[in-house]
Structure 1
Amino acid sequence: MDHRVTEVEGVELCVTRWYDNNVVNYLSTLHGCQPIDSVQRWSSKEKTHVLIARPNVIKAYNEHMGGVDLVDMLISLYRINVRSKKYYIKIIFHLIDLSVVNAWLLYRRHCSQLKLPQKNVMSLLSFRINVASVLLKSSPPSPPIIRRGRPSL
C-alpha cells in the first residue's frame, strides 16, 4: 500500500494505491488510510489464504459500493440501444433506462415489505414489458390515414 495526502484549495485529498490481486487506485476527500485492518486473500504462490493490510478507504468503498454498481449492472441487462449521432438522444434513453430500473427496485422493496413470496415478484424483463405495454395503451389513438390521389383496387 502507498498513499499521499495533500491539500488543494482548502480540501484535503488522500490518494491511495493498494496492491491487491491488481493495483487499485483511490482518491478520497472523506476517508484516508487509517485505520488499517487486515483481510484474507488467496495467494496463488503459497496456495493458501494470507492476511494483507487493507486501508480504511477500501473498506468504506466495499461497504457502500452496492448502489451505483448494481444499477449499472441492471441497466446493462436490457439497455435501449439507439444509434444516433445526437448525444442528447442517448442521454434521454439512458435516463429512461435509469428510471425503469429505479422503479423496479422500488417495486421489489414494496413487495418485500408486503412479504409477498419471491415467485410472485416480477422480474426486471417482465416489469419493463409491463411498463411498455401500459404506456402504449395509454397513448391516444392515432388519427386515420387520409389517402390522396386515385384509389387503388
Structure 2
Amino acid sequence: MTGFGITATFAPGAVATDRLIVLGNWPNGQDVTPLTGTAVKTFGIQECNVNFTGCTSVFGNYANSPAGSEKIRGQVVPYSGFQKLVYPTPNADGNTTFGTAQNKLVTITTNTTADSVYVYNANNSTSASAYPKLLPSSSDGSTLTFKTFQPIVWTLTAPTS
C-alpha cells in the first residue's frame, strides 16, 4: 500500500480479512505539540467494509476517537469511532490482525527527513498522554522506517532546528 510518500508493506499473514485496508493522512500540527521536535506528518491505517458502508476511526484505537466521514476513491464514506478490538476474535470488524507486539507484520517506510515516530492519541490534551510512546525506528536522513502491528495513528517528528 502506497500513498502520501508512505509505503506500508504487509508480511504474509499480516491481513486475513475481506475488508479494505486504507492508508489515511491528516494535516500537520495536531491538537497537541509532540514531546520533541515539530510534527511533520500524522497518518494511520484504517479498515473499511468492501462496499464502503463504513470504516474504523481515522484517529486510531482510542475509546473517544471521533466518528465522521471522509472521501475514499471518490465516495464519501462514514467512519465510526475506535477499533473495537473484540478479543479473542481476530479479524472481526475493527480488529484486523496485523500481528502482535512481538511479531510485527507491517513495515512502514516514509519519505521524510523526520527522525522519530510516536504513537498519536487524539483523545488527550497533554503532550505526555497525546504522544504516549516513541517507537523504535531507523532513519537515513531521507526515509524513516518502523514496524507496527495494529491499525493506529502515528506522528513523525523532526528536530526543531
Q: Tell me the TM-score normalised to structure 2 length.
A: 0.17
Larger RCO of the pair (alpha carbons < 8 Å, separation 6+): 2
Q: Tell me the TM-score normalised to structure 1 length.
A: 0.17
- Higher Cα Rg, which structure: 1
**Larger fraction in strand:** 2
**Larger fraction in helix:** 1
